[in-house]
Amino acid sequence: MIFMDIDTFVKLRAFDDAIMDQIGDDITLDDIQTFLSYDTSFWNYLKGKVSRVDSNQNDAKYFYGTYPSYDSNGVLSGLYVIVPIIKNLGTALINVHEYRHAYDLYNHLGQKYVINQLDSEALAKETEEAFSLKYALSKGSKWLDEQTSD
């Protein structure tokens, strides 16, 4: 096991965040929708139920999430999503994460449903990682094509 002091960890995390801010400025919501390949009815349902906020606002990250609503009988009756405007890979990954949560909830609308937070977070994180890998591979492939086309 490798241990590091907190200062080193903070510096590495800041470096990682800086990299995320620099790459992926060409990612769009269409790219995310294509990757997730959720049915059209889901995306139609979300119309008017998503707020996209500027990630430069202080404390904006504390509001990102997928918020379920329940009726008086404990039946899942709706959901609302708050995500950052897609500017880079970091903000795209937050979108992927929250849309995964939204899709999981969407599939239980009209039912009494209790969220299993651990499973839900694990699935959303796996979806983020898959998107990140697919994005990195596509970028690498484009770069390789550019290098070999000369």
pLDDT at position 133: 86
* pLDDT average, residue stretch 9-36: 70
pLDDT at position 11: 56
Q: Quick one: DSSP state of residue 88?
A: S
Nearest to 47 by CA among 79, 70, 77, 87: 79
Helix 117-148, helix 89-106: angle, nearest 10: 140
pTM, whole model, 2 decimals?
0.76
User: Bridge partners of 83?
Assistant: 52
Worst-scoring range by mean pLDDT, 22-36, 76-90, 115-129? 22-36
CB 87, CB 25: distance < 8 Å:
yes
pLDDT tens, position by position, 73-115:
999 999 999 999 998 888 999 999 999 999 999 999 999 988 8
* pLDDT average, residue stretch 117-121: 85
pLDDT at position 67: 95
Q: Given pLDDT bands bounded at 50, 70 and 90, which one contains residue 61?
A: low
